[in-house]
Amino acid sequence: MDALEIARWQFGITTVYHFLMVPLTLGLGMTVAVLQTVWYRTGNEQWLRMTKFWGKLFLINFIMGVATGIVQEFQFGMAWSEYSRYVGDVFGAPLAMEALLAFFVESTFLGLWIFGWKKLPKLVHLATIWCAALASLLSAYFILVANSWMQHPVGAEIIDGKAVMTDAWAVFTNNTALITFPHTLFGAFAVAGGFLLGISWFHLYRRRKEGIDSVDAQGRVVVGEDLSKGKNRDKTDYQVWIKSLRIGAVVAMVSFLGVALTGHEQAKLMFEQQPMKMASAEAACHDGTGFSVLTLGDITTPGSTSCDDIVATFELPGLLSFLANGDFTTEVKGVNTLIPEYQEKYGKYYPEDPNFGPYAGQEINYLPVMEVTYWGFRLMITLGGLSAVTAALALWLTRKGTVPQSKWLSRLALLSIAAPFGANSAGWIFTEMGRQPFTVAPNPQMGGIDQVFMYTAASVSPTVSAGEMLFSLITLTLVYGVLLVVELVLLTRYIRGGIGAAMPELNETPDTKNPDGSGHDKNDDGDVLAFAY
Amino acid sequence: MDWLPALWFILIAVLWCGYLFLEGFDLGVGMLIGLGRNTEKRKRVLLNTIGPVWDGNEVWLLTAGGATFAAFPHWYASLFSALYIPLTLVLVALIFRAVSIEYRGKAKTARSLKLWDAALGYGSLVAAFGVGAMLALTTLGLPLNENGDRVGGPFAWLTWYAVLGGVAVVAFCWIHALAFVRLKTDGPVRERAGTLFTRWLPLAVLPLVAWVLIVLLENDSAVGWALLAAAALALVVSIATARAGREGVSFIALGLMLATGVAAIFTAVFPVVLPSTLDPAFNLTIYNASSSPYTLKLMSIVAAFGVPLVLAYQSWSYWVFRKRVKEEHIPEAHHPEPIVK
């Protein structure tokens, strides 16, 4: 493997990994803010318990997102210096804004939230989690503006061989960004919904298995309590889990609807903006209207580009046109039509330029790796749909107040956690791999070779050796692997610990000054910190 | 709009200054916990002085990096790619540092606690060293060709200048953390920090002064010398007030020393942002490394709005957590009991 391939693997691995933490941070942050708001308004303890429990899991996950996020910002300069030089004038701006306008708010106000229980007035404390959660959404917007510009460059032109921003408004209201943003957010909320659903299911299931809760003749829940474990298994505990489960299920279903609707709009744009990506997502070699549900043939051989061998075995007529245009008859261009178009517009061979390294003068392969785009696209949709079905099923199964005592169904709960993560990863792998061979895909509305676009082959740092790249790839992958285990162990421990794990104060003698563990404590000099590392 | 690149040069100097000042004590506290000998309770006192604020402080690094990318893409690309290996290590160090701050309190065994402490201590040490080396090299030069790419292999950056910058920042973080801890704690931790700070302050800032001197000798600048004089004055004030037990003043004076020292360095190298040791014609300057006036103008508007806002709410957060942390404030370590297997 040469430096370019290693750099790509590294970017892929670190980004997919980072984006395991990100959607959970986005979705769970908003969830915790809403839960705390309900507690603030009702004063009902169950909402406080939910805030604390989900907040604890949120924090365990948040720090991993922070730690792996720094790698993302640095590796543009480290491994992709030519890319950074070419696009910095446009691409650097949203990154800098993300740090200045979003990350600062997020991290400062989260620090205030974690350590501010008891210290800040209740309303101010509530405001801190809202600031942090909304800032995380803002950061998502900025980074998606940057990414969307790579998918669909607007508001820039080439001056002295570099992309230069000419219209900031166009960059920040890029239609690609405006549709990717809600699509990503709904994807993140689906992750949070599945997370709430799966973990709450587990606790309700255990309560039944231990004989705390039972069902009457009509199948309705009879809530019990087991006070031998402190308040961990009281009646409020039941409320925490059933409410979390049902909220999670509704969030997951609504999010799926949102993901599907925005995804459809996004696909229509992508047919216009990156026709090759969508053609390869379809393994559509020839022009047509049918959506392939299952395609067999040469796309199963690694890196296949020999499109003509593909035998589409099962197609839904008209669906491809619906995805692309919203009707059932428009012909969508296939790979075999698009390749000559790309060659005519952007050239058949890479330029003889030292920045292309070993790729200079080689023939350009305009077709993304079809097995990745084809299956990535389908995996995203399947897993997304699966999580929605699971959520609907969970809502129906718990309509009488608790979960059934079935081991098999409790495994389904695990699936509801995993599926949305998988859908998010698959979607990103599809859209990023589908953009190849470009880092900045050309905007077809803007013309040809003289417009803003960049080949991946020319983006990598010219004098960083393959050995260096391999060193960082191995180091980061190992570190990430170890930390994933650590995070999962900790999450599991706090999940198994139930509410008491996130609320040590729950099973202690109540503080007479502050029975609800909150409120403004003016005379706290002798007091123990409400939270301490 | 000729002044825009100069404005951004100043702004990036300010961001680095803010980073070194704020994250300086976080990294130093990390070293004190992970590499020093302390009881568990005292380690937790130390950790909780930075607990609510360290993450916000780290964003100064991200903002300095992001602002360099936006305002001087060539500076960002050349510097970061030239330092590929050391920055990889800095990233790993920062990852371990961040994760151990959050997770060390969740360790159940003495062995895992020890591992987290090592991650925190060495993570802070390596991050401080790496950032110092990077800043020293961007002021003193790297072997860059006409495209701004590093020549001479993966370790071409490893010079005495890099080591000096690394040592300077490590030593500064350590001494700065002692001043901070002295100000933010009470009891034995405060006393011990006070003793160490007063004793080692003059020695600990020597490498930093040496770095400023080398930069000034290589790039003669009257303003630079004046700023160095101001830094020396701030240092004297810090030493004198430290001995007199005026913790707040000596902490601020040390911060001013840092600020004037960094200002002296950046003033002296202006307008060069990254010199090439191969040929001055390959130097990256604020003119040939910067973004277009349009982008710089946009970013200036954003910064004019964003920077004061950040300063305001970060100051508020320091105000909220202004109380000294004492051993009796630290609650017992809490480990969740599994209520379900």
User: Where in the sequence is the domain holding B162, given as residue range(s)?
Assistant: 22-175+261-316
Chain-chain contact of A71 with B95 (C-beta, under 8 angstroms) = yes
- pLDDT tens-place string over residues B10-59: 999 999 999 999 999 999 999 999 998 899 999 999 999 999 999 999 99
Which of A366-380, A471-485, B214-228 shows the lowest mean pLDDT across its residues?
A366-380
What's residue A311's pLDDT?
56
Separation between Cα atoms, residue A355 and residue A75, nearest integer Å: 18
Neighbours of B311 (CB within 10 A): 12
In a domain, B85, yes or no: yes
Categorize the per-residue pLDDT at A313 as very low, low, confident or very high, splitting at 50, 70 and 90. low
In the predicted structure, residue A102 carries a pLDDT above the cut 50: yes
Quick one: average pLDDT of A359-367? Answer: 90
pLDDT-wise least confident of A42-51, A247-256, A494-503, B25-34: A494-503
Residues of chain B with confidence (pLDDT) below 50: none
Residue B241 lies in a domain: no
For A406-453, the pLDDT digits (tens) are: 888 888 888 899 999 999 999 999 999 999 999 999 988 877 777 899
pLDDT for the residue numbered A293: 63
Please give the residue that has the higher pLDDT: either A146 or A450.
Answer: A146
Chain A: give the shortest CA distance to residue B107, in Å. Answer: 9
pLDDT of residue A374: 86
Q: Answer whether residue B184 is part of any domain.
A: no
Q: Which helix (H) or strand (E) holds A369?
A: none
Across the interface, whether the CB atoms of B66 and A99 are under 8 A apart is answered: yes
DSSP label of A457:
G
| Domain range summary for chain A, segments of one domain joined by + | 3-273+368-506
- By Cβ distance, the residue of A71, A114, A528 closest to B91 is A71
Q: Which of A63, A108, A410 to mutate to test the interface with B (most CBs of B within 10 A)?
A: A108
Closest Cα in chain B, distance from residue A252 (Å): 26
ipTM for the complex shown = 0.94
Mean pLDDT of A52-73: 94
Residue A295 β-bridge partners: A312
pLDDT tens digits, residue range B263-297?
Answer: 999 999 999 999 999 999 999 999 999 999 999 99
Alpha-carbon distance B118 to B100, whole Å? Answer: 9
Cβ contact (<8 Å) for B62 and A108? no
Residue A275 has pLDDT above 80, yes or no: yes
Of B65, B80, B339, the CB nearest to A498: B339
Q: pLDDT grade, residue A189 (50/70/90)?
A: very high
Closest-CA residue in chain B for A56? B102
User: Higher confidence at residue A141 or residue A301?
Assistant: A141
Is residue A303 pLDDT above 70, yes or no?
Answer: no
Residues in Cβ contact with A338 at an 8 Å cutoff, skipping those fewer than 6 apart: A275, A276, A279, A366
Structurally, how many domains does chain B consist of? 1
| Shortest CA distance from A97: residue in chain B | B302
Looking at residue A515, its pLDDT comes to 47
**Sequential DSSP letters for A158-218:** EETTEEEES-HHHHHT-HHHHHHHHHHHHHHHHHHHHHHHHHHHHHHHHHHHTTSSEE-TT
Do the chains contact at B294 and A168, CB–CB below 8 Å?
A: yes
Q: Is the pLDDT of residue A298 over 90?
A: no
Angle between helices B84-103 and B3-35 (to 10 degrees): 50
Lowest mean pLDDT among A18-27, A270-279, B50-59: A270-279
Mean pLDDT across the stretch A238-250? 95
Give the pLDDT score at B161.
95
What proportion of chain A, given as a percentage, has pLDDT over 70? 90
Does the distance separating the beta carbons of A76 and B334 come in below 8 Å?
no
Minimal Cα distance from B151: which residue of A?
Answer: A463
Residues of chain B found within 8 Å of residue A120, distances taken between Cβ atoms = 320
Put simply, the answer to whether A464 touches B91 (Cβ < 8 Å) is no
pLDDT band, very low/low/confident/very high, at A510 (cuts 50, 70, 90): low
pLDDT at A475: 96
pTM above 0.90, yes or no: yes
pLDDT of residue A469: 95
Residues of A in contact with B78 (CB under 8 A): 81
Whether pLDDT at A518 is above 70: no
Is the pLDDT at A519 greater than 50? The verdict is no
Confidence band of A314 (pLDDT split at 50, 70, 90): low
Tokens linked to A408: 């098999």
pLDDT at A269 over 70: yes
| Chain A nearest-CA residue for B317 | A112
Examine residue B277 and state whether it is found in any structural domain, yes or no.
yes
